[in-house]
Structure 1
Amino acid sequence: MAEVVLFHHAQGLTAGVVAFADGLRGAGHTVHTPDLFDGRTFDSIESGLAYATELGFPGEILRRGAAAVSALPAELVYIGFSLGVLPAQQLAQTRPGAQAAVLCYSCVPVTEFSPTWPASVPVQVHGVQGDPIFVDEGDLDAARDLVAQAPDAALFLYPGDQHYFADSSLPSYDPSATALLIERTLALLAR
């Protein structure tokens, strides 16, 4: 079984993020859900991003992500939801021992953290084909570049136009897309 760290999105560590983690736990995996927002959750992406900016986005989010795993074993799978992709992707690219990465709703250019994606780290990127944040803000392009260069990478696009499709506590939740995301994540974790 894998040991996983799941970093939450800009609305915080919501009940839906915890429910997603519980789905992975139910399959026997150990899943850590660090709270990068000190217990705060937000009603909108914008208010959560405003709080992240107050904290010192992106630097403080990356620092908190690294601090959250400092006492954990090196052999981790990193999962990030949107804002949480930043620490997940950085750690997958730079922390020795990374086992895999699952980047949901976002992706940044590989060169933000290292010259290339580590060849030994499988990666999946999941996004919605009509999500204006994922498509119009460069994440889809970054994901395509990542998949083109990484030896073990996959990009999965889901129908729809919502950003946080796998958070069951939000109106944007899409149960069928989430079921596929969980299935694909569990298949990666089983490797």
Structure 2
Amino acid sequence: MICSEYTLESEALCTDCRKKLRPCGNSFYLCHNEEKYLVWSVFYYSNIVKELIIRLKYKSDFMCGEILAKHMLEFVKSNKLQFDLIAYVPMTKKSQKSRGYNQSEFLANYLSRFLNIPVICNLIKTMDTKDQIGLSGEDRWSNMEKCFEVKENKFMQNKNILIVDDVITTGATAFHCASKLKESGINNVCILTIAKSKV
């Protein structure tokens, strides 16, 4: 459990923890080099949400992942977000082998299962990059430049795609993923993250 006190057996967060959730909800545009993509974030990256993400991302705590994914699913349904396919921010093969899983893929697969919308795995991260944590805003953009590619797939043509990730800060990672998908003939790309952070 994320906390030692909880009200129901099926509820992993107690009342006090749930009160610490800081909903974000407002959409915004991620703009760079005359391109822009619509972004939604479910929460702000603080308090209990930060702890949940850290546990999922670095401690293989998939119960925390399910808590986050459930809130993401509820957000999609309550805001009536419309899309044909789900993508996620990829890791290099080396990084994924080291961690054992991709937390963004975990979230995407959860949404896919309950929305009955396919996940596509056509985004590829071609090179390892520095961890974005600790980098300045400008360094984050240059760190992510030219490290993503898209495998061609006619099934994606003219479709609307939702990119899923855990946290958005400057948006450099999500932007470059969206840009690559758009180049490959996608109709529209938007982004959904669990949390919104600051540099």
Say yes or no: TM over 0.5: no
Q: Which has the higher contact order (CA 8 A, sep 6+)?
A: 2
Scaled by the length of structure 1, what TM-score is found?
A: 0.40
Q: What TM-score do the two structures reach when normalised by structure 2?
A: 0.38
Q: If you compute each CA radius of gyration, which structure gives the higher value, 1 or 2?
A: 2
